[in-house]
Amino acid sequence: MSAGRSSARFRGKVAIVTGGGSGIGEAAARRLALEGAYVVVADVADDAGEAVASNIGGQFVHLDVGNAAEWAKVVDEVESTRGGIDLAHLNAGIALGAYPVVVEELTDAEYERIMSVNADGVFHGIRAVVPSMKRRGGGAIVVTSSLAGVGPHPDDPIYAATKHFVIGLVRSLGCPFKEHGITVNAVCPGAVDTPLLDATGRRDAIEARRRPLMIGDDIAEAVTMLLAGSETGHVYTVMSGRGAERYEFPGIPGMPST
């Protein structure tokens, strides 16, 4: 479905999108609103988040995803005003400023911050929204990981580690959530043209390697597909010129497939 055509497949649904003030999150928030959802845009960038929420007729909430108390407050607020949460796109993520990353030169503060947002933020988000979804009779969660979550990324091993964490969580939660009517899946984009590239110096490295950049709408297409679908515990890569493709993990030698 093209980004310019609306539908009603999410009509009556309440969605929350983290990192919704720009990039992939903004594109997903706009797509969800276009398809009928009431969207709660969550971000630490107040001006950007408020602008997106106002433009799509949704609601903005300030949220540091790595803070469990803030998550609880946001979910309580959404439940009191909108009745609950049906859909969640846990998209907020950061990368370290220096590139390539030299592990032995990382400060404690740098390491703790990226783990807080990229790993803890996903855990806190899932833990906060699932009870609300259970009360609504089901729901859907899509987490933004990265191609770095399914393969090595020597230039930024800590970022890769956080994205592998996300993949492990999603694949492990698919089965136990299924009995409650909740799906959880992940998207793993390649390089996307977002403000993060300029802020961390990654754009120059990507352009030097002649890798084509995608735009947020390319990923939003995959996100909404998974939010509307019934499969769970799966991972989809999204690469320029290829679209969304389900990633098949190799089995473990000597272990039966599950």
Distance CA 256, CA 254 (A): 7
> What is the maximum alpha-carbon separation in the chain?
54
Which residues are the active-site residues? Answer: 159
CA-to-CA dists, residue 214 to 33, 191, 219, 243, angstroms: 21, 6, 8, 10
Q: Two tokens at 238?
A: 């999204």
CB 65, CB 71: distance < 8 Å: yes
Contact present, 126 and 139 (Cβ < 8 Å): no
Helices then strands, counting H and E runs in the chain, come out as 9, 8
What angle do helix axes 23-34 and 46-56 make, rounded to 10 degrees? Answer: 20
What does the block give as tokens for 78? 């959404």
